[in-house]
Structure 1
């Protein structure tokens, strides 16, 4: 399936698929260190930004991409993940201080109250709605090889699930929880039975998993890896052609050599179900997974893209240009860009291609 994406056969086709960065707007007063995660509220135009400077910042974003800082809270070490509650009143961060901390914006208290703990850094945090009781809960995934579920009214986890390896990424949509670990394990969990793996697969990609992202309809998920590939996986195997992988974030081959880059972020458009990939090569692309087609590719933004997110109505695509540590400590320097950009989603940039009916 690799050839169906990306590569275009004509100059005209390439021009049609080349996106424009000229109207992208930079976030005011971004973090002072590498940006690890960004997340939009589903209720308002607010953006949370998690950073290696030990803070989670919350900004209000105008329809034109302008921004104003509204609140922040501190961790005791770099923050690796952030997420909004469904009602838009709370933001949680998970960090290298082995803690998840939360701010309640409704209460007006700008403090990060600790709401979860692990034995090792927390790599990923997500709010979700408990299918049994309907109340909002928290799931945390850690390098201590566990995921834990938290009722925010209690100090101890409701349940702990042992994984095969360190948790690198997780995502939730509806009753679907997908957990990606070291050694390329992907665990699929139904939140109806949250303490059991519904299904475990080895990643269809050959190298380390960087990100998993659930489809908006919770029927499957996308996986991104360090070798410039993305995979589309359905939870229930409908037929052999439903699941596929494709190449992205790679330089054109030269002298039988191809530079490949990590796929750091995959974000689904909230309305159209199309998705973005963003990577260490400093580019992002919009894709139609159903038609197996690239909708738009964008020029390099001048640094690696470490995180991305669509706002609630899909009119803004935010991406963080920040060192992602893909080349280790030595490649980081004070001149490296560190910013979050707001890209206005115009026209058909993210719209699926019309399907052609066969006679």
Structure 2
């Protein structure tokens, strides 16, 4: 490949809401959800096995804009969440769509836990639905009430972090959520009061835009609409909590004024544990959260960065760009929605202290 960056052919026609690579380190597939009511399946490799412009393999139509998408147990299944209020499973091999459950409002996020065979969805009806998907039995999801509307959700092998309105965060023990689905259908159908493992208030003063968990299960990063990122650890000990910090980013100087942009997207590198941030300023930066330093900042893209994601082996970084309405416009100019993929150098995303 001549350049270490290329633009994917056949992008969505409306704003991108999420982008996720297959977690399989050998796979170069990724899925994208969009406000154009579709989920797109791409592969960076062509028929000859070489990485080029990326290839659109399939498109899966929904009834309403799709707000989130994630892979399931393997490369053949994904789960979606959207404004049709449904949580769906898509069999990528057969294109069959199955509705797992329906919320009472739009579904903002969906995540899959391979360790516990759970699909968890978070809806603007202020509930979580916890689905057990490793059984053929038709078990309805457990419904867990939330104190306010969810904005973002991420998980590790053992924890689920839900960032909500009012700067509230709940951290759940996934093992405890898995136990809910083993109850009888009558119990599961009712909302079950589940005590979070931890309740926290965001370290950031303004509304949370995104949360992403560290791959080593130690903690998470969160971002706000006011150009800041916070890094925190799960360990409740005073020593560990004293390590948490926040920093300013995604700000542009314009005529001696510091213009602040929302930090829309966060993603951790699966190998090095560093993370990428994408902002409304059209900039993507890589950070070493342990050393508290920026590793590098990439070129400015013409539109807001809506989503970022690393491939399962960490060799590729995909950047979804689409207008974020920071300029007051609410239309999507033709050609303004794009997916750029960077092939990372061997140490490009490596942190200062990484071996």
TM-score normalised by the shorter chain: which range applies? 0.7 to 0.9
Cα distance in 1 for partners of 2:347, 2:331 equals: 37
Please give the per-residue CA displacement for 1:135-171, whole angstroms capped at 9, x wherever unaligned.
x221000100111101244666431111111111101
Partner of 1:42: helix, strand, or coil?
Answer: coil
Please give the per-residue CA displacement for 1:270-291, whole angstroms capped at 9, x wherever unaligned.
1000000001000000011111
Query: Is the CA contact (8 Å cut-off) linking 2:209 and 2:262 kept in structure 1?
Result: yes
The runs of at least 4 consecutive aligned structure 1 residues that moved more than 6 Å come to none
2:305 corresponds to:
305
Please give the per-residue CA displacement for 1:69-122, whole angstroms capped at 9, x wherever unaligned.
2222221100000000132221111101101222113xx321322122100000
Within a 5 Å distance, the mapping from 1:64-83 to structure 2 comes to 64-83=51-70
- CA apart distance, 1:254: 4.9
1:243 corresponds to:
244
Cα distance in 2 for partners of 1:221, 1:59 equals: 28
Partner of 1:350: helix, strand, or coil?
Answer: coil
Query: Is the CA contact (8 Å cut-off) linking 1:137 and 1:150 kept in structure 2?
Result: yes
- CA apart distance, 1:228: 0.4
1:115 corresponds to:
100
Choose which of 1, 4, 18 in structure 2 pairs with 1:37. 18
User: Against the structure 1 CA distance between its residues 65 and 210, is the aligned structure 2 distance closer, same or farther, given a 3 Å change threshold?
Assistant: farther
- CA apart distance, 1:172: 1.2
Q: Please tell me the root mean square deviation across aligned C-alpha atoms, in Å.
A: 2.1
User: Against the structure 1 CA distance between its residues 73 and 336, is the aligned structure 2 distance closer, same or farther, given a 3 Å change threshold?
Assistant: closer
Query: Is the CA contact (8 Å cut-off) linking 1:148 and 1:157 kept in structure 2?
Result: no
User: Against the structure 1 CA distance between its residues 65 and 92, is the aligned structure 2 distance closer, same or farther, given a 3 Å change threshold?
Assistant: farther
Cα distance in 2 for partners of 1:253, 1:338 equals: 25
2:142 corresponds to:
159
Cα distance in 2 for partners of 1:109, 1:253 equals: 51
1:345 corresponds to:
344
Choose which of 33, 36, 40 in structure 2 pairs with 1:50. 33
Partner of 2:128: helix, strand, or coil?
Answer: strand
Partner of 2:166: helix, strand, or coil?
Answer: helix
| 1:220 has 2:219 as partner | yes
Cα distance in 2 for partners of 1:159, 1:286 equals: 37
Cα distance in 1 for partners of 2:170, 2:326 equals: 25
Cα distance in 1 for partners of 2:294, 2:173 equals: 31
Query: Is the CA contact (8 Å cut-off) linking 2:72 and 2:114 kept in structure 1?
Result: no
| 1:148 has 2:129 as partner | yes
Query: Is the CA contact (8 Å cut-off) linking 2:167 and 2:202 kept in structure 1?
Result: yes
1:266 corresponds to:
266
- Normalising by structure 1, we get a TM-score of 0.86
Within a 5 Å distance, the mapping from 1:313-328 to structure 2 comes to 313-326=313-326
**Count of aligned residue pairs for this structure pair:** 328
Query: Is the CA contact (8 Å cut-off) linking 1:65 and 1:316 kept in structure 2?
Result: no
Give 5+ residue unaligned stretches, structure 1. 1-21
Give 5+ residue unaligned stretches, structure 2. 178-193
Cα distance in 2 for partners of 1:222, 1:86 equals: 25
Partner of 1:193: helix, strand, or coil?
Answer: helix
Please give the per-residue CA displacement for 1:312-337, whole angstroms capped at 9, x wherever unaligned.
11111001011234556x34342461
Query: Is the CA contact (8 Å cut-off) linking 2:272 and 2:354 kept in structure 1?
Result: no
| 1:252 has 2:253 as partner | yes
1:94 corresponds to:
81
Partner of 1:110: helix, strand, or coil?
Answer: coil
User: Against the structure 1 CA distance between its residues 154 and 290, is the aligned structure 2 distance closer, same or farther, given a 3 Å change threshold?
Assistant: same
Query: Is the CA contact (8 Å cut-off) linking 2:14 and 2:332 kept in structure 1?
Result: no
Query: Is the CA contact (8 Å cut-off) linking 1:92 and 1:102 kept in structure 2?
Result: yes
